[in-house]
A and B are shown apart, each in its own frame.
Chain A
Amino acid sequence: MHTEVKEPQHKLSKESLRVGLIGDVIFDVVVLLIFAVLFGLDFIFEWPAWIGIVLIILLIISVPLLIIGYLGTVIDHRNWRYDIDDEYVQLRQGAWFQKDQLIPVTKIQSVETKQGPLLRRYKLREVEIETMAGEYSIPGLPEKEAYALRDQIAAYAKAKEEDD
């Protein structure tokens, strides 16, 4: 009974890290823009002094958070693993807070691939698996790989258990 736990092997592609980082940059730009607008309004309408102070404190707090955000993206990307065989889908996420999920393919109800504008730019696709318990996604796979994975899962998931 005591066989070693097989760890999932497949990693995410390098391009998807780039997409993740670009996403972070866009998010940061939006946050900074909001700050800029608030500071502008503060300046024009001469809001009470404490609002300005609060804004500056928030900005000081958010800058390191934004930098940590990049780090988080890189770490998450590095530690993302998935594996699929004819019986199970296995997912692993996180470095510090690690989460492993083991999903029997028989419990999969649908598979789809998705693509946003950023993913399209880098010819990536996200594979989304829906099960009885919820939805899981494997983000940022190269298009070909994503389609292959989708077809593979769909083929495996044809098997149904008697209970379902």
Chain B
Amino acid sequence: MEKRRYHPANMLFAIVKTIRGWIIPLIIVFFFNNTDGWGSYAKYGILGIILLSIIGSILKWFTDQYTADERAFHLYSGIFSKSSRTVPYEKIQNVTKHTNILHRLLRLTAIKFETGSKEKAVDFQVLTKEEASRLEQLTKEDVQEQAAVQDTEIKGDELEDADAVSEQTVPPAETKNIHFKPTKKELIRASFTSLSFLLVPPLLISFLLKFDIFFDWSELRQYLPLLKVWWITAIGLIGIILVSLLVGMWRVVQKYGNYELKSDDTYIYIQTGLLSESAFSIRKDRVQGIEITQPILHRLLGLAKVKLISTGSLDISEETETINSLYPYFSLKQAQTMIAEILPEYEVQHSMERLEQKVLLYRLLQPSTIWLGVTITLYFWRPEVLGFEIKWWIVSIVLLILIEGYRYLDFKHTSYLISDKFFQIKTGALTTTLFVTKRNKMIEIARNQNPLQRWLKLATIESINRAKPVLHNKLKDLPASEADRFYVWYRQRTNDVRKQ
């Protein structure tokens, strides 16, 4: 197999990145520093650093090479000390592609193959679109071949993902179906529910406050009487509201205007972004779990965010946030049908078990360190705000009510389910999080019991899943007998894992 160099544009991107990283120091030394001794040294120093890193990135292009054969990536790097690294395709957890504006101008893209919690990802920062899809296809073909081989080996086996495997004979490219693509109406609704238009007025104010170097507040004063004319004020207000709405809409359209959720038999594909595109693909059996979060506003509007938990990290580049979440403005029902469609192996059950009533009492009666701390501090310190002395006991009572209310909400939302092959827990007071994972995806479990819990026959259980960083999910104060059942249940996980 012939070793290949990375795309030459890698050098250009590295240079752009270096200059962008040093642009602020550069401006400072060139424009805000007169030639008094240190300034000129700093100038040469920074120019030297930039020059060195540019030379470095050019040398790197000459030395770094890669090949991709049927089984693995082979990466060769190092200017002085050479190193080579082999990454088998089967280690790949998920693939992310990212095309920023510079990529787009040059018809290039970036692709990253995530390999696991501890290893470094295989990262191609600049390459042609054809090469990216060639590499992606290579990694996928390998998996499919393996799956086909296993298919013949495990016929008649009642493993849960056997059905996903047996459908392998159909080429996945043909069966790719689109599950969701937001319509204009849905985008408009999303831009309202995202509430990002609320960000504009505070931004405007902080902008005004920061940029008063360009104008004088005292000059503005003469225009103030204009606000008394009602239609001028009205037009102004409407203008601000319109701008806010437009900005909010733009933010949503920019992110989700091009959104697509697709899947075939083996993979899930997510695509977002209008100007700079991002794409994410993950093998269905690499999904470590699902998280459905509902912040308080989402709950009021009946919306839900769905996140796929994956072992590899999900940030594609510094500029983008994680895109493992499905469209965040699904209604809860829509989200659940979507999960059932793309991950048929996962069942999200609605009826979950609640904690016992005595747990509420046990939790409400626990001393709160925050409350104690604040109360004691205020009792001795008694600060004054705007000339009023704050009555320490009022603050104390209000705080206690808030804390107990929070605990009550948390108790009310907490529920769990240990079903045949799934573990489901829901927690959270204001933002609720429902976490669903399969027994064979949990890499470890733990059970804790403190003296009070022992007395009340309660226990805490913890599930640990692969993710970056490792994901710990705790469920506190469930009946001790249930914790034991969880333990026994986990011990039987060997029934649904396939050994190599």
Contacts and interface: CB of A to CB of B under 8 A. Distances in A.
Interface of A: 1-5, 87-88, 96-104, 106-107, 131-134, 159-163
Given A87-B494, A163-B286, A101 B444 contact: yes
B448 A132 contact: no
B487 A102 contact: yes
B443 A131 contact: yes
A104 B444 contact: yes
B445 interface: yes
A2 B482 CA distance: 11
A88 B485 contact: no
Contact of B444 (A1, A4, A131): A131
Contact of A102 (B444, B451, B485, B499): B444
Contacts of A103: 444
A161 B263 CA distance: 25
A160 B444 CA distance: 15
Given A102-B444, A163-B497, 20 more contacts: A1-B492, A3-B488, A97-B450, A98-B450, A98-B454, A99-B447, A101-B444, A101-B445, A102-B446, A102-B487, A102-B490, A103-B444, A104-B443, A104-B494, A107-B443, A107-B444, A132-B470, A161-B499, A161-B500, A163-B286
B97 interface: no
A44 to B, nearest CB: 36
Nearest to B465: A133
A99 B446 contact: yes
23 contacts: A1-B488, A2-B488, A4-B488, A5-B484, A5-B488, A87-B491, A98-B448, A98-B454, A100-B447, A100-B448, A101-B447, A102-B444, A102-B445, A102-B447, A103-B444, A104-B443, A104-B444, A131-B443, A160-B499, A161-B440, A162-B499, A163-B285, A163-B497
Interface in B448-500: 448-451, 454, 464, 466, 470, 484-485, 487-494, 497-500
A1 B493 CA distance: 12
A133 B473 CA distance: 13
B117 interface: yes
Contact of A97 (B449, B484, B489): B449
The 3 closest A-B pairs by CB, nearest first: A100-B447, A133-B464, A160-B500
